Structure 1
Amino acid sequence: MVMETTSPAIDKIRCDACPVMCYIKPGAAGACDRYANHEGKLVRVDPHVILERTVSHGGKLVPFSRTEDWDGKIVHEPSTFVTAIGAGTTYPDYKPAPFIVSAEVDGVDMVTVVTEGIFSYCGIKVKIDTDRYLGPETATVRAQGEAVGHVTTSEYGSQMLSLGGVHHLTGGSKKEGRVTCDTLMDLANCKAVELTIDGGASVVVQAGQPPIVNGVKEERMRVGCGSATIGMFAKQWHGKVDEVVVVDDHITGVLSEHQAGKLLDIADTGIKMKGRRSTPGRYFQVADPGTGWGGTDISDPLAILGPFDAKEAKAGLTMLMVSTTGEHSSYYVLDETLKPVETEMPADLKFSVERIQENCEPALCTVLFMAGAGGSLRAGVTDNPVRLTRSVKDALTRVT
């Protein structure tokens, strides 16, 4: 399968498993980390792993055997599964796969073809649980100053990044390609990576860990948008406060105008909101995106309010303003001029803010590896690759 050829460089071995054709010096591995030069011989680095049999057989290849009756499944699942881990690879597959294991099941020939397939051009999708503004969509994401991806469309309560891919791996400078590859490897191996976003924030991302945005560790996802928060907690606010505003970059909720408030017969308060009114009690674009209250750019929640309507508002009216994570909250009482004055929050309202926090899921980073194996891998299995593809679609062939 793999030839050993002495290179012009002394003591180096040339590997022909793939078109890179590495010259490997003694004690070193090739670019793929699958083959190495061990005392002048080309060897596979990792043992070939057989699931459920690795302990008793030391990770060596064991033969297939099947005696039990067919259970009715379209595809047989052998109790001994020959993995590709440590199998080595040939890519593109102008040669047969490293391992081809045959067996007979109920008189039907079964063939298992094993190759440690290379992912040609891979990428990673990163889900970052945060309301904080990381940067505009399509903004370039950088690692070590090099472009490695971009900001993509956000999901509910989370910001999304798309990293890697052919353009960044091979379409730019050599440094850009190396940094992109290192970033993908680190993220996929659950290591922390610091990313910066053009026109936005710096964020430390690590799979399964809270994101750190501009040096601040995120604690929780939002419980829902401002409108959803009103719907969930309106009953708990009824009779304890006259007005509640849940600040949110997506949909800011106003209790007295919201359908939940109407069903509870909460009186109009004369509150006036900035932004674009969507439906009663629901407002878009009350502020610009940012890292402040509810994912907006404000640090003073009163900035999203206009003057109270004197026909409906009255001195002494109480108002709670809170973010969708409960991270920010303030309590106000209208003075004689109908201006909100911040006052110490009553205990029962503090409890409701804590209840919002309790109902928020922990903020985490999720890393999804996206990859495609090169089409030529099929050539190590069949002379007509498209028929293999069709057999996979028909569930006659299983690819793992």
Structure 2
Amino acid sequence: MSADPLSPDARANKFGAAEGDGIVRCDACPVLCRIRPGRAGACARYANRDGRLVRTDPVVLLHDTVEAGGRLVPFGAAAWDGHGADPARTFVTGIGAGTTYPDYKPAPFIVASEHEGVETVTVVTEGIFSYCGVKVKIDTDRHLGPERAAVRAGSEEVGHVTTAEYGSQMLSIGGVRHLTGGSKKEGQVTCETLLALCSGAPATLAIDGGHAVVVQAGRAPIVDGVPERRMRVGCGSATVGIFARQWLGHADEVIVVDDHITGVLTEHQAGKVLGMRPAGIRVRGRRSTPGRYFQVAKPGTGWGGTDIADPLAIIQAIDPAVAWPGLRLLMTSTTGEHALWLVLDERLTPVPAEMPPAIRAVVARIGENCEPSLCTVLFVAGAGGSLRAGVTENPVRLTRSVASGETRVTMGGAPVTVWPGGGITVMADVTRLPGNAFGAVPTPALVAPIEFTLPRALYADLGGHLGEVVAMADLLREVGPGARHEAWRPDNPWPARPAAKGGGP
């Protein structure tokens, strides 16, 4: 290898091996494509240009902002000519960097720069992840499907339903067993689904025994063709607690219908504290604590995530010894999207009536307090394999350094959560990465950027590839003109800031 890690020969040797007739073998994944001149490999991410293996996408550089003339100006505008960028305010991401899989060679870029007086090294690569998936949080009051039910893309199983959290349904998509443990088609469809979700594209999923949902990061879910609007303000009991005082004097009873915990105001502790008169209206289901009922109906896409369209179906009985004619009853869902005002007649039968303005205002406030319904996609991957050998000759020391917080991990410059315990398992919000950050190879596996940033002295102690380190200024001259330049997102921590021992972004 050339003494200059940035020379064309050195770069070509990092990514593949030349064969006869101008063919280049790509070893970026186990497929080992033999690529003819002018052609691309099966993943379309690597191509043969003049007998050298090159990445087809440009490297993505992030640029910090500086104050100029009283305003913040990002380095690296679209017409950047390769001059004037401050190396201390530039971060090289793994997007477009390429990979040296299976990492018997050092990572594509090992970059030295100085930040806040600390000389740092950032090891930049694209990981090929067979051990990966996404966790999807879907803000909806609707019941999407039973826990542990299979999630399908087309006819192929690509994941499963996990728990229902506070106002959200959780799905787990992907994982090594779907990528490699089933049929070839299952692996391919799983990989395609993961790539779509990580790239911010919509994915249509169907849940066994449940419903169809279109998931797209940062967008509202679409359940059975209907876009969701609101995430519940709380369960039925919480809704009662929040708005009890605002209903006082305007309603004699309020029932907040919810698949999980239905709330009944006058029985609830909130109604007791306010001194409300018992209303004698008993709802179906299993009584938990006063004013809190479980299992009032089956799960579904109706009122409060139940299967009912008529809320009166959950009323089991009205006690004539307690209730009275003229009793004012509000029934509402936890999002306020469903609401019904009723008045008991002489036979104590609930009769629909026009909702008073004061009650209508509180129902509107329930909706106001509901956050917009969104889908969140978190990419989760294990980076504990050969990828570490591209960083250091002693991989376990890298793992320990990451766990201790001395080495910061980012993905495309975006912050990640590093899971405690063994290995390097990271989780990142896909919307915080630059666009087109993910790719795929036909093994099948997902390709994602990953960067390790640490003090240079620590990198030397870890057994890092010091002979491959290049200065940021040199790298900018070499790859800057053809790179993709983006301004750093202010909501992301500046990725090259020295990490304090003990972790943290």
TM-score if structure 2 supplies the norm length?
0.70
Indicate conservation of the 8 Å contact 2:286/2:294, yes or no.
Answer: yes
Matched, 1:44 2:48: no
Trace 1:4-153 onto structure 2 (pairs within 5 A).
Answer: 4-6=17-19, 12-52=23-63, 79-101=89-111, 111-153=121-163
Change (3 A) 1:89 1:289: same
- The alignment partner of 2:382 has SS state of coil
Where does residue 71 of structure 1 map in the other structure? none
- The alignment partner of 2:179 has SS state of helix
Change (3 A) 1:124 1:17: closer
Deviation at 1:207, TM superposition (A): 1.1
Per-residue displacement from partner, 1:177-208 (whole Å, max 9, x unpaired)? 11111111111111111110000001111111
Where does residue 184 of structure 2 map in the other structure? 174
Where does residue 330 of structure 1 map in the other structure? 340
Between 1:360-369 and 1:390-399, the stretch displaced more is 390-399
Deviation at 1:237, TM superposition (A): 1.5
Matched, 1:183 2:193: yes
Deviation at 1:50, TM superposition (A): 4.2
- The alignment partner of 1:351 has SS state of helix
Per-residue displacement from partner, 1:324-380 (whole Å, max 9, x unpaired)? 111111111222222212222223222221121111111111111111225212222
- The alignment partner of 2:259 has SS state of coil
Deviation at 1:235, TM superposition (A): 1.8
The separation in 2 between residues aligned to 1:129 and 1:108, in whole angstroms, is 42
Matched, 1:347 2:360: no
Tell me which amino acid in the other structure corresponds to 1:195.
Answer: L
Unaligned 5+ segments in structure 2 are 1-13, 64-74, 411-505
Change (3 A) 1:247 1:111: closer
Tell me which amino acid in the other structure corresponds to 1:239.
Answer: G
Change (3 A) 1:196 1:320: same
Deviation at 1:54, TM superposition (A): 5.0
Indicate conservation of the 8 Å contact 2:130/2:175, yes or no.
Answer: no
Tell me which amino acid in the other structure corresponds to 2:55.
Answer: R
Deviation at 1:261, TM superposition (A): 1.3
The separation in 2 between residues aligned to 1:166 and 1:299, in whole angstroms, is 41
The separation in 2 between residues aligned to 1:341 and 1:57, in whole angstroms, is 70
Change (3 A) 1:217 1:254: same
Indicate conservation of the 8 Å contact 2:29/2:128, yes or no.
Answer: no
Per-residue displacement from partner, 1:140-180 (whole Å, max 9, x unpaired)? 00011211100001110000100000011111111111111
Tell me which amino acid in the other structure corresponds to 2:109.
Answer: F
Between 1:253-262 and 1:144-153, the stretch displaced more is 253-262
Where does residue 363 of structure 1 map in the other structure? 373
Which of 174, 193, 199 matches 2:203?
Answer: 193
Deviation at 1:33, TM superposition (A): 4.2
Where does residue 239 of structure 2 map in the other structure? 229
Structure holding more strand per residue: 2
Indicate conservation of the 8 Å contact 2:15/2:54, yes or no.
Answer: no
Deviation at 1:288, TM superposition (A): 1.0
The separation in 2 between residues aligned to 1:187 and 1:139, in whole angstroms, is 20
Unaligned 5+ segments in structure 1 are 65-77
Per-residue displacement from partner, 1:67-107 (whole Å, max 9, x unpaired)? xxxxxxxxxxx5443433332211111122233445799x9
The separation in 2 between residues aligned to 1:356 and 1:104, in whole angstroms, is 51
Deviation at 1:133, TM superposition (A): 0.5
Between 1:173-182 and 1:134-143, the stretch displaced more is 173-182
Where does residue 440 of structure 2 map in the other structure? none
Indicate conservation of the 8 Å contact 1:120/1:374, yes or no.
Answer: no
The separation in 1 between residues aligned to 2:114 and 2:373, in whole angstroms, is 50
Between 1:259-268 and 1:14-23, the stretch displaced more is 14-23
- The alignment partner of 2:282 has SS state of coil
Trace 1:193-342 onto structure 2 (pairs within 5 A).
Answer: 193-342=203-352
Between 1:302-311 and 1:110-119, the stretch displaced more is 110-119
- The alignment partner of 1:322 has SS state of strand
Deviation at 1:222, TM superposition (A): 0.9
Between 1:93-102 and 1:309-318, the stretch displaced more is 93-102
Indicate conservation of the 8 Å contact 1:49/1:59, yes or no.
Answer: no
- The alignment partner of 2:288 has SS state of strand
Indicate conservation of the 8 Å contact 2:15/2:98, yes or no.
Answer: no
Indicate conservation of the 8 Å contact 1:118/1:373, yes or no.
Answer: no
The separation in 1 between residues aligned to 2:364 and 2:109, in whole angstroms, is 59
